[in-house]
Amino acid sequence: MAYPKFKRKYAEEALFSPSDLKRYRKRIRASQNRVPESIILCYSKRLCESIQSAHKISEVTGVLGNVGSLYSIEGTMNRVGLLAQFGIGAPATVMHEEELASLGASKFVILGMAGGIGRDLKIGDITVCTKSIRDEGTSHHYLRHSKYAFPSKNFTNIIYRKLESECGKVKLGPSWTIDAPYRETVKELVRYREEGVLTVEMEASALFAVGRVRNIQTAAVFIISDILSEKSWKPAFGKARVMENLLKAFKSIKGVLSSD
């Protein structure tokens, strides 16, 4: 059965938009603090805490409602923001992407952890996503069916080159975005690994799809936090190299976004 249930759903007008929410919040006198033009999406509580310890950040209040925290990173002239504590997965990512874009944000970069399915990947390796398999539901409400969603090519290449120059070896390749992390199968893993897919995660393809529809620049950077193979799953989320490279990647991404 096709998904979404209504054929060509992606081409229909929505009942309401993030701009309607913006007008509603303005009407109830929510804060109208300026939103940074570039947003780094942070899913890890440990990473957010480490960033807070290493960088001066200040909360942008009255923007997100009851879910999530948005911070402005000092030293970037309010150009770079950190979105944290907003949940995981495609729906949470897209909801905040849409709302922040309606308030003026125009660049979004995922900085997260991902499972490694590509050959020769090691815990803590840095990867940059070139395209992502749309094995989640959210993106299909925005774009007609296709196997992949794509980030902004030039934007992604700039981030990749910055990471390579500052963090050492960086892997460049596709990802697999899936809504059901406990339903990844061996057959899928083998097929996608043969196609050159490096990682599996829960958000990239949805972020990219909205970026294309809304004319937003998008990119995704992942640090390998666990390794998946036909025989085993090897989690290593707490390894020092994972957090070290998340922080290194954050610094490089912040540099790109604050210098654009």
Indicate whether 97 pLDDT > 50: yes
Distances 176 to 1, 143, 181, 233, 246 between C-alpha atoms, Å: 21, 17, 11, 16, 20
pTM of the predicted model over 0.85: yes
Predicted confidence (pLDDT) per residue in 177-213, tens digit: 999 999 999 999 999 999 999 999 999 999 999 999 9
Predicted confidence (pLDDT) per residue in 126-147, tens digit: 999 999 999 999 999 999 999 9
On whether the CB atoms of residues 215 and 105 are closer than 8 A, the answer is no
Query: What's the longest Cα–Cα distance across the chain?
Result: 56
Residue range 21-259 in CATH 2.40.50.100: no
Q: Where are the domains positioned within the chain?
A: 21-259
The DSSP output letter for 183 is: G
